[in-house]
Each structure stands twice: as C-alpha cells, then as structure tokens.
Amino acid sequence: MIILAVDTTTLAGSVALLDKTKLLSEVNIDTASTYSERLLPSIDFLLQRNKLNIKEIDAFAVAAGPGSFTGIRIGLSTIKSFAYASGKSVAPVSTLEALAFKLHHSPGRLLCPALDAKKGQIFAGLFESGKPGLKEIIAQGAYTPDQFFAQLPSHRLISFIGSGIHTYQDKILRYFKDKARFSHRTPFIAYEVGLLGYELLRKRKGVNSQELKPLYFRRSQAEEKD
C-alpha cells in the first residue's frame, strides 16, 4: 500500500511517501513561504523522485489538526481533492498524536505533545506509550497552560514535545521539576502521520473525501467575530 502523508498544521510542514510502514521519501520544509506555494511542488518532487504519479497512490494520510487554521485548511483541501478525484480513502490523524508517536519507543512512558495555540493557550494531550500503540490519558484539546499542567501527574517522568514546550518551558519546570524531559526530536511529522494513517487504513477506518473533517479544538477568529 503506497501512502501519501501530509502535514501542514504548523510552520514545520512535511510530506512523506510510505510503502505500508516503510519510508520511501520525505520532504521537510520550515520556511516563511506559504503552503499554497510549497505543498504541491513538494508532493510533485516526491512523486517524481519515486517514479510515481498521483494515480498510483493507494491511500492518503493527513494531519487534520490542531494547529494553524490556514495550514489545516490547505492540507485538508489538497488531500480532499486527490481523494475525490481518485476515490481513494483518507486517514485523518491528530497532529498531537503524531508528535507523541515520535517518542513512543519507551513502553510505559508518559508523552505530552503541546503546541503553542497563541492567545495564552496550548493544544495538548497526554498519552502513555505501550503495545500496540498510544493510549490517551488526558483528552486532547485547547487549554490554558495552568489548566492543563495541573491535571498531569507530577510524580512521574513526562516527555514533552512540540512548540509549546519552548514557550512554556519555565512553567513546565515549575510544575514538574526534575520529572520533565524535553524532546529534541525534529517537529516534522509526515512520516508519523503516515504510520498512524496506515494503521487506520489497515483496520478499514479511513474516510472518503466528503467525510474528511478538520480537528480544530476551538473556533477560528473569523468564527468568533460572527
């Protein structure tokens, strides 16, 4: 199964091609250019490098959010167009779960992906690594940092990952002291989106183009003004 996986939810965007769980190629780009400028050229580059065309993609995986509203819309609309034209399935994957999955190799470890959501909030959740995968311990959502960190068990080691840990590192250290571990893994997650997407697709939990929905966790500025 050849899967095209896309993440446009943060500035650290990425695109990956997988054959089931094997990574074939990936493009990671962290620039000021917009996704409307770089997403399609990145996809085209990957396809050409692997001597494939879009019709040979068996399924799609996409980070559905949370993150940048504009980025989410561009990523989902692009994949939705491909899926509609081809009739292929899409696996929508949480950005937070994909971030946590980068650290899932230590069984029993608590993993906390956190993105800076601006407006004094974070997008965050708490997972525990294990077999066969991640277990959600605290529901993903939009929180104030204190509201979220107060829910976490301060007596256990917790690995933090994502843009939120840079913004709120001092606060995390006040709450968790020597129990906090800060990941230095890259923020690019298209490969992890592809891996999680493959599991959904394998279990026939993919959706069609019409069923593909964003994962926002809060209303956009435009919606708040209505």
Residues 136 and 212 in one domain: no
Instruction: Please check whether residues 47 and 151 belong to one and the same domain.
Output: no
Residues 213 and 130 occupy one common structural domain: no
pTM above 0.85, yes or no: yes
How confident is the model at residue 220, as a pLDDT? 55
* Domain shared by 6 and 110, yes or no: no
CATH code: domain of residue 155:
3.30.420.40
Same domain, 72 and 9: yes
**To 5 degrees, how large is the angle CA 131–CA 132–CA 137?**
75
What is the pLDDT tens value at each position of the chain, 226 positions in all?
999 999 999 989 999 999 999 999 999 987 666 777 889 999 999 999 999 999 999 999 999 999 999 999 999 999 999 999 999 999 999 999 999 999 998 788 999 999 999 999 999 999 999 877 899 999 999 999 999 999 999 999 999 999 999 999 999 999 999 999 999 899 999 999 999 999 999 999 999 999 999 999 987 544 444 3
Instruction: Indicate if 89 and 192 belong to the same structural domain.
Output: yes
Both 6 and 91 in a single domain?
yes
pLDDT (0 to 100) of residue 32 = 60
Q: How far apart are CA 191 and CA 4, in angstroms?
A: 9
Range of the structural domain that residue 110 is part of: 105-182
165 within a domain of the structure (yes/no): yes
- Calpha distance 63→91 (Å, rounded): 9
pLDDT at 226: 35
Question: Are 34 and 137 members of one domain?
Answer: no
Looking at the structure, do residues 66 and 137 belong to the same domain, yes or no?
no
Residue 17 lies in a domain: yes
Residue 105 has what pLDDT?
A: 85
226 is a domain residue:
no
What pLDDT score was predicted for residue 224? Answer: 45
Same structural domain, 81 and 36: yes
Domains in the chain, number: 2
Q: Same domain for 54 and 15?
A: yes
Classify residue 100: in a domain, yes or no: no
Is there a single domain that holds both residue 86 and residue 36?
Answer: yes
